[in-house]
A and B are shown apart, each in its own frame.
Chain A
Amino acid sequence: DAGVIQSPRHEVTEMGQEVTLRCKPISGHNSLFWYRQTMMRGLELLIYFNNNVPIDDSGMPEDRFSAKMPNASFSTLKIQPSEPRDSAVYFCASSLENNRGGYTFGSGTRLTVV
C-alpha cells in the first residue's frame, strides 16, 4: 500500500497565482481530510469528505479556498488567488469511516507564497 499520496511536495508561487494541491487517498478509505499546519495555528482542519461528499467546510479560511473530490481516489485543494499568509504545510489524510484505525496522513505539500 503506497499510503496517502500528495503532490507536489513543495510549491513556491507568486502572490495572486492559482495553486492546486492534489491528494490520492488510500484505496478503500471513504473519508478524506485536508489540514493546514503553521507554527502559529498548529494543525487546522480545513474540510473533510465522506464518500466523496463534502461534509464540513467550516475550516476553509475564505472564498479563495475550494476543494473537490470528483471520485474516491482523488481530491484537490485550490487557492485562487494565493496570498503570502497562505504559506503553510498542507496535509491530506484519509481514514475508514469508523476511524478506529486513525488517520493516515500524506507527506504534505509545503506551500510558499512570495
Chain B
Amino acid sequence: GQQVMQIPQYQHVQEGEDFTTYCNSSTTLSNIQWYKQRPGGHPVFLIQLVKSGEVKKQKRLTFQFGEAKKNSSLHITATQTTDVGTYFCCYNQGGKLIFGQGTELSVKP
C-alpha cells in the first residue's frame, strides 16, 4: 500500500550546521504533515502542506511540498541543541494519519 519513506534515518550534526530530511512517496499525496518528537516525549504537530510546490517557513525551519506532491522536505538552518529529536512526515489516508519512520537528529554542541 501507499507509504512514505524518510531519509536519512539518522543524522548527526555539529551545532550551527544545516539539516535536511526528505520524505518520498510512490503515489501522489493529498497533503503532508510534519511532527517533531523530542527524546522521551510525544509527537508535536509542526505544519501541514497541501498545495503543489508549497513552501512554508517557521523561523529556522523551511518546509517544502514537491510540485508532483510526491515528496516533501524539512530544512533546518543553523541547528541548535533544542532541535534534537525525531522528525516525522505523515500523510492522511481516509481520515487517519500514517507516519513515516522518522529521521532522528542529534546535535553536538
Chain A 32-52: CB-based contact to B (< 8 A → 1; otherwise 0): 010000000011010010100
A22: shortest Cβ distance to chain B, in Å?
16
Assess whether A42 is in contact with B101, with CB atoms less than 8 Å apart. Answer: yes
A50 with B98: CB separation less than 8 A: no
Contact of A74 with B by CB under 8 A:
no
User: Which segment, of B14-22, B42-50, B61-69, faces chain A?
Assistant: B42-50
Contacts of B94 in A (CB 8 A): 56
B96 touches A101 (CB 8 A): no
Q: B48 to A100, Cβ gap below 8 A? A: yes
Report B26 CB to chain A, min CB distance, Å: 18
Q: Are A102 and B102 in contact (CB under 8 A)?
A: no
Residue among A45, A55, A104 making CB contact with B98, cutoff 8 Å: A45
Contact A33 B43 (CB under 8 A): no
Main secondary structure of the interface of B (DSSP, over half): strand
The bracket for how many chain B residues form the interface is: 20 to 34
Contact present for A48 and B45 (CB under 8 Å): no
A contact residues, range: 20 to 34
B87 within 8 Å of A (CB atoms) = no
With A45-B98, A56-B96 known to touch, is A106 a contact of B42 (CB < 8 Å)? Answer: yes
Closest to A45 in B: B96
At the interface, yes or no: B11 with Cβ under 8 Å from chain A?
no
Residue of A nearest to B92 (CB): A99
In angstroms, how far is the closest chain A Cβ from the Cβ of B96?
Answer: 5
Question: With a CB–CB cut-off of 8 A, which chain B residues contact A107?
Answer: 41-42
Task: Please name the residue on chain A nearest to B100 by beta carbon.
Answer: A42
> Which of A45, A50, A56, A104 interacts with B45 by CB under 8 Å?
A104
Residues of chain A touching chain B, judged by Cβ–Cβ distance below 8 Å, are 31, 33, 42-43, 45, 48, 50, 55-56, 91, 93, 97, 99-108
List 9 A-B residue pairs with CB atoms under 8 Å apart, sorted by A's residue number: A33-B96, A55-B95, A56-B96, A93-B43, A97-B95, A99-B92, A99-B95, A103-B45, A107-B42
**Which 3 A-B pairs give the minimum distances between C-beta atoms?**
A102-B45, A43-B99, A105-B42
